[in-house]
A and B are shown apart, each in its own frame.
Chain A
């Protein structure tokens, strides 16, 4: 696919378009990263560091800056390990519980459907629990996903207590001998204190029922979101100890660069990316491909000039 080509090859392309390392070069780099929604602070720091380093090492040709750029960019993300992927924390001995959280409309329910499909393909017994008892049609939506994939959905009626539904889900998962329980929750904006408290309560019920659970708390972020995603990551982490991110809607034109700032400031890794609305449109996150994708436009724009 388009994001699969090797990072260094693409970086070659990029620097080949620029001969000199001058103000224009850095300005373009800054703009490209900002337009990809990489946090403003992160971009400014990064570009300043590169400029300084270029000066110190007396680098004049863009070609010679290549190593440095790729190091710095991927470093933010992976601490130097270019291929790091962070897998799910599945519990090999028994039931694993994965809690999905996030603001409204980002793709929590859809991502649960997609992940359920993947896990089922791997031969695992998966159960879903409809913890969004608030939004109109939310329970039915998860129900449709359950039918599509052929996994059972544990639910109560609209308006019931989400913590109670979770409790039911856990009991059902135990009695059915499930391997993985995927828990949907209602979307909520991180500045709504009551709703965030409700979410902690949901998590506490899971913790109390199964020591070590939830094994993963996945924060779902919409790639279209700008700087607010950093605030989301911070607040949801404080409430629910987020262990990973699902970055959705990367099939659009948004780049989701804010996850770099999130990794840098909060050290939360992206585990999956959403690339469409179908059940097969979920992929493991590939840092190299992602970082390249951030400035793919810089390469193409230059090519057109």
Chain B
């Protein structure tokens, strides 16, 4: 199956460019084509790719080729640097409210991994930060969503607040805060139902919860396998809710994960955590640099450059 990374794609091109001195226009043109295809195959949005390639071209043409590199490698180096820059720095911190409880809202499309990640975050907060979290079952729509969260809570031995499926999610969220205060729980994680970014009514429900709770974090949960549509989803959720961060799930799969780049480019919000499995301890800090290499599939090229 054709799923080459940039490394494979560039082998030929790089070999051809053996001259030294400055990177010339022709070199960059050939390389840009390959970079573009590699990014598209990795599911980076085509508009993001366009801007990115343009930037690379501008920066690369005329740069001095470092002593130890070929012009091809020099361009790769620039690509990697720009990509890492775009991915942002490492930021896995979770906000702390001045007055407890700290409120975290989980939002995203259907099946992205919100409920599982809510459990993972609660687990992390307790284990690593010694906090007392409360999970809130505000998904009254998906069949057995409450049972799912309750099962997760039971597995972790972390309390779950629910009011059944007849209650209104906005009321559930509000009452959960009161409950947390009463019980001296210092984090409240609100698991909301999956919804489409174009569903006005359900998006309105989130806006209402946000207005009432004034959350310290709103995490957009995104499936790492998402394709070109990632920009629409991220842009739309961010515009309507002003999210504070992104969590990328299912990175234990073999997707290149170009959605990460698309999301960064359109929202400029930090990607804070990566879901690395179905188990409740499989949540990791997100590493922007590793992600950059993964998207390009260019581990080999990087080793080449590092060795040079």
Q: Which of A127-171 contact B (CB under 8 A)?
A: 134-138, 140-141, 143-145, 148, 158
Q: Does B217 belong to the interface (CB within 8 Å)?
A: no
CA–CA, A195 to B80, complex, Å?
35
Known A136-B152, A137-B148: A145·B143 in contact at CB below 8 Å:
yes
Q: A253-B229, A254-B229 are in contact. Are A136 and B155 (CB under 8 A)?
A: yes
Q: How far is A207 from B210 in the complex, measured between Cα atoms in Å?
A: 51
Q: Is A243 close to B, CB under 8 A?
A: no
Q: Which residue of B lies closest to A37 (CB)?
A: B227
Chain B residue, CB-CB nearest to A147 = B143
Per the CB 8 Å criterion, the residue count for chain A at the interface is 49
| CA distance in complex: A113, B143 (Å) | 11
Q: How many A-B residue pairs have CB under 8 A?
A: 149
CB <8 Å contact, B226 and A224: yes
Interface contact A254-B228, CB-CB below 8 Å? yes
Contact A137-B147, Cβ < 8 Å, known A222-B111, A252-B109, A252-B229: yes
Q: Is the CB of B147 within 8 A of A189?
A: no
Q: Is B76 an interface residue (CB 8 A)?
A: no
Q: Collect the chain A residues with CB atoms within 8 Å of residue B152's CB.
A: 136
Q: Which of A18-26, A61-69, A100-108, A285-293 contacts B (4 or more CB under 8 A)?
A: A100-108
B129 CB-CB contact with A under 8 Å: no
Known: A141-B148, A225-B225, A227-B41. A253 touches B198 (CB 8 A): yes
Q: Which of A40, A225, A226, A254 has the most CB of B within 10 A?
A: A226
Cβ of A228 under 8 Å from chain B: yes
Contact indicator A277/B144 (Cβ below 8 Å): no
Q: Which 6 A-B pairs have the closest CB atoms?
A: A226-B227, A137-B148, A105-B111, A144-B143, A226-B43, A136-B151
Binding site for A on B (CB under 8 A): 1-3, 37, 40-43, 45-46, 109-113, 115-116, 141-145, 147-152, 155, 196-198, 223, 225-229, 232-233, 250, 252-256, 258-259, 278
A-B contact pairs, 27 of them (CB 8 A): A34-B46, A37-B43, A40-B40, A103-B253, A104-B278, A105-B113, A105-B223, A107-B110, A136-B152, A137-B145, A137-B150, A138-B148, A140-B143, A141-B147, A189-B250, A192-B252, A224-B226, A225-B227, A228-B43, A228-B254, A230-B3, A231-B1, A231-B254, A249-B109, A251-B196, A252-B233, A253-B196
Task: Write the residues of chain A forming the contact surface with B, with a CB cutoff of 8 angstroms.
Answer: 31, 34-37, 40-41, 44, 103-107, 113, 134-138, 140-141, 143-145, 148, 158, 189-192, 222, 224-231, 234, 249, 251-255, 258, 265, 277
> Known contacts A138-B144, A249-B109; can you find 18 more A-B pairs with CB under 8 A?
A36-B228, A40-B37, A104-B111, A104-B250, A113-B143, A136-B115, A136-B116, A136-B151, A136-B152, A140-B144, A222-B111, A224-B223, A225-B223, A228-B43, A252-B196, A252-B198, A265-B1, A277-B142
